[in-house]
Amino acid sequence: MDLVPALEEPLKQSLKSVLGPATAKVMAEHLGLHTVGDLLHHYPRRYEERGQLTHLADLPMDEHVTVVAQVADARLHSFASAKAPRGKGQRLEVTITDGSGRLQLVFFGNGVHKPHKELLPGTRAMFAGKVSVFNRRLQLAHPAYELLRGDGEESVEAWAGALIPIYPATAKLESWKIGKAVQTVLPTAQEALDPLPPALREGRGLVPLPEALLKIHRPHTKADIADARARLKWDEAFVLQVALARRRHADAQLPAVPRRPKADGLLAAFDDRLPFTLTEGQQKVSQEIFADLATEHPMHRLLQGEVGSGKTMVALRAMLAVVDAGGQAVMLAPTEVLAQQHHRSITEMMGELAEGGMLGGAEQATKVVALTGSMGAAARRQALLDLVTGEAGIVIGTHALIEDKVQFHDLGLVVVDEQHRFGVEQRDALRGKSKQPPHLLVMTATPIPRTVAMTVFGDLETSVLDQLPAGRSPIASHVVPAADKPHFLARAWDRIREEVANGHQAYVVCPRIGDDLDDADAKKAGKKKSPEDEAEKRPPLAVLEVADQLDKGPLRGLRVEVLHGRMHPDDKDTVMRRFAAGETDVLVATTVIEVGVNVPNATAMVIMDADRFGVSQLHQLRGRVGRGSAPGLCLLVTEMPEAAAARQRLNAVASTLDGFELSRIDLEQRREGDVLGQAQSGARTSLRVLAVIEDEEVIAEARQEATAVVTADPELEQLPGLRTALDALLDEEREQYLEKG
């Protein structure tokens, strides 16, 4: 984080005499550590107390572990094998203990000689290796080890602290080698430039950065570790929030055309047509958006809404307000299916107000145009013409909208649906199509915990829709354990037949398409199987196979169709139209239906191999049913045993419809990096000690402090340490990310 000359020195130079260039190469390739500063910010994952072994009963299978223990027993055995037929094969078995538990180490062949001499009973050492089971006993085969001799000054100093740091390591580089490298460069920590303003640091009782680095790598007490972590968390939260605060500050300086709706314009006419009243939440969020649109700086707002909370209605009213004010509005959807669906539902909601320039169109009407990659040439030419002349007030499309050929007459508002599927570069390219920056509204149906919103979308103001519109029905969710209770699965198909008999429709969702291409892709990618995949010894269920089995078996006689991402766009659209019109009873699909598909008559969903989907994804999928007046039903089918983590995840989804609660569960179960995604890409920028859920207070306070600092000193001229830390955080990739955010 602190790029000053001493900390900028490449590791291959500074470690030359200690560990050699090969170690520096492994650090660069496997851990992303290139400079002394990088290494100082590679913090221990945990600490072993001298002589305490990691609880042996808790050792995770198939994982790389580091343990500190004492040799209890060592025996050399001879045996016969294909390589050593005369009984000359050698196996060294060493038992290590922490006084309460035991673990077997095993060495073979030529590898027995060194440990046989060194690992004598009573010897203490650190051992690292992969945990496996042999004869029902846990063992480490050929572990790397480092003796804790306690002779010589350096060794005493290194181990006397009793707290031994265990670093995030790789199979190619053990924790203690990283520890040795850290000890070598630790003196340079004194030169680390402190990014926190002195008043902030002292006001919060935080230790200076050089002291924090010393304490995290060489603690003498647990209090040292707590001090160091508290300080380093603040660094990570504060520097990131300053970057975002500067972005917000810069945006606030940009000019934009204010867009205010007319009292008797298109928006008023639309509101008069509505057959229902907006929820309080929709009205409140609309007011926030209209207030932003009326200013002379571009709006940057994130609209979070539960599945089915009426985000599209809020976005459409914002678009109509902009058209009223003489501008154009564009809505970007992540897929063609969704773009077509939005186009259809928006033109239906607007009725004659969407027929601008046509016979029978209302007086205030505008034209609503779709633009997607699969349009025919003539339709596309007409759509492009409507955009450039300003005839089309509202445009809905996919990233085809971003192509160079597409020109707008006066682009006033960009609405991005489902942010996490849309690249930053794409949003940026679209914003560049306006003479002045257009207003930006980003919608997501994936509930994001407040702290993640502050960390990832910290440059956007946030609005939340958490009420469901009147008339929405509850969704009952149940886990169907197909392996333990096959009759539950049979009952699931009966339930689908009952729903269809009552005039409703159903979805069946599978993780895979199931054509030859699908399998070839998987082979080509050489995908590693998870332990759970291995346990099942079968690929995930596929749409084409499941549809065929259902058609011939439990759903025989019903109208079953398939939908997946590899179909031609026209075919996809035809299938969706038939399903929406009620001409299909059961749609067997991949996750292409996850976002935005709206068929109020669909009341039931069966998700096959539900354990293969993430928590948020299951919540999104479930939101496709119960969209009308009849109650919804979602059945999560799995073959995972009851004790499996995947089953716990499914139980969590079945137990609550609160997306924010589920997003917390999801975040706790995954590494933060997965959630922070692109915003946290790049070796230096990922969070090391800050946990987005646990450290909610730190992040919220850091955001306040950062805003105050940037307001007082936007260029950070008084804070050179903070500027240096920002430069390190905002390497080029990150800089671009924020620029385009």
Residue 400: the pLDDT is 76
Distances, alpha carbon 362 to alpha carbons 344, 352, 725, in Å: 18, 5, 58
pLDDT value of residue 739: 47
Residue 200 CA from chain centroid, whole number: 31
Share of the chain above pLDDT 90, in %: 27
39-51 pLDDT tens trace? 888 899 888 765 4
Q: Is the pLDDT of residue 686 over 80?
A: no
- Is pLDDT of 685 > 60? no
Q: Note the pLDDT of residue 159.
A: 43
Among 97-106, 342-351, 678-687, 723-732, the range scoring the smallest mean pLDDT is 678-687
β-partners of residue 67 are 127
3 state DSSP class of 193: coil
Lowest mean per-residue pLDDT among 90-94, 253-257, 462-466? 462-466
**602 vs 532, which has greater pLDDT?**
602
Say what the pLDDT of residue 162 is: 60
DSSP 172: T
Q: At residue 80, does pLDDT exceed 70?
A: no
Q: What is the structure's pLDDT at 82? A: 63
Mean pLDDT of 453-468: 75
Q: Rounded distance, CA 589 to CA 606, Å? A: 11
pLDDT digits over 615-652, tens only?
878 888 888 888 878 889 999 999 888 878 788 889 98
pLDDT, residue 336, reads 82
Task: Take residue 440 and report the two structure tokens written for it.
Answer: 């930006």
Beta bridge partners of 47: 165
Q: Enter the tokens of residue 430.
A: 């679209």
180: left (phi over 0), alpha (psi -120 to 50) or beta: alpha
Mean pLDDT across the stretch 241-269? 88
Tokens 């055995």 -> residue: 77
pLDDT tens for 228-239 read: 999 999 988 898
- Mean pLDDT, rounded, for 6-11: 72
Residue that has been written with the tokens 């939101």 in this structure: 623
Q: Residue 98 pLDDT more than 80?
A: no
pLDDT in tens, 687-708: 677 777 678 888 889 999 999 9
Q: Is the pLDDT of residue 110 over 50?
A: yes
More confident residue, 176 or 567: 567
Alpha-carbon span 283 to 289, nearest angstrom: 10
Reported for 532-541, long-range contacts at CB under 8 A and 24+ positions apart, including other chains, are 532/611, 532/640, 532/644, 532/646, 536/639, 539/512, 540/510, 540/511, 540/512, 540/609, 540/612, 541/510, 541/511, 541/512, 541/608, 541/609
538 closest CA partner among 561, 556, 512: 512
CA 593, CA 561: separation in Å to the nearest integer? Answer: 13
Average of per-residue pLDDT across 262-275 = 89
Specify whether the CB–CB gap between 66 and 145 falls below 8 A.
Answer: no
List, in order, residues 6 or more apart from 166 with CB less than 8 Å away: 44, 45, 46, 47, 48, 66, 175
Q: Give the E-state strand segments of 333-423 in sequence order.
A: 367-371, 392-397, 411-417
Which tops the pLDDT comparison, 457 or 554? 554
pLDDT-derived band at 420 (thresholds 50, 70, 90) equals low
- Mean pLDDT value across residues 446-467: 74
Weakest mean pLDDT among 320-329, 470-479, 709-718: 470-479
- Count CB-CB contacts under 10 A for residue 374: 14
Residues whose CB is less than 8 angstroms from the CB of residue 654 and which lie 6 or more positions away in sequence, other chains included? 477, 478, 479, 636
Going by pLDDT thresholds of 50, 70 and 90, the confidence category of residue 456 is low
Dump pLDDT digits (tens) for 471-482.
667 789 999 998
* Confidence bin at 491 (pLDDT 50/70/90): very high
More confident residue, 163 or 441: 441
pLDDT at site 315: 94
User: Is it the case that residue 419 has pLDDT exceeding 70?
Assistant: no
Helix, strand, coil % over all residues of the chain, rounded to 5: 45, 20, 35
Q: What pLDDT score does 78 carry? A: 84
Could you give phi then psi for residue 2, rounded to 5 degrees?
Answer: -115, 95
- Distance, in Å, from the CA atom of 274 to the CA atom of 267, rounded to the nearest integer, reads 11
Residue predicted with more confidence, 111 or 704: 704
pLDDT tens-digit series, residues 579-601? 989 999 999 998 877 665 778 89
The pLDDT tens digits for 169-197 are 777 777 878 888 888 888 888 888 888 99
Residue 184 has which token pair? 């070598």
Residues pairing with 128 in the sheet:
66, 144
Residue 55 DSSP one-character state: P
Q: What is the mean pLDDT of the chain?
A: 80
DSSP secondary structure of 465-485: E-PPPTT---EEEEEEETTT-
C-alpha–C-alpha distance, residues 599 and 603, integer Å:
9
pLDDT tens digit sequence for 27-71: 888 888 888 888 888 899 888 765 444 565 567 776 667 777 889
CA–CA separation, 102 and 55 (whole Å) = 9
pLDDT digits (tens, 9 = 90+) for 118-153: 999 988 888 877 788 887 788 888 888 888 765 544
Assigned token pair, 207:
């230790």
CB 604 within 8 A of CB 496: yes
Radius of gyration of the chain (CA): 30
- Per-residue pLDDT at 595: 61
Mean per-residue pLDDT for 610-614? 88
Where do we find the tokens 């956007």?
460
Which pLDDT score, from 0 to 100, does residue 596 have? Answer: 58
Instruction: Quote the CA–CA distance of 645 and 654 in Å, as a whole number.
Output: 14
The token duo for 155 is 């060794």
Of 178-182, 457-461, 552-556, 677-681, the least confident: 677-681
The pLDDT value recorded for residue 706 is 93
Q: What is the 8-class DSSP label of residue 685?
A: T
Q: What is the pLDDT of residue 741?
A: 44
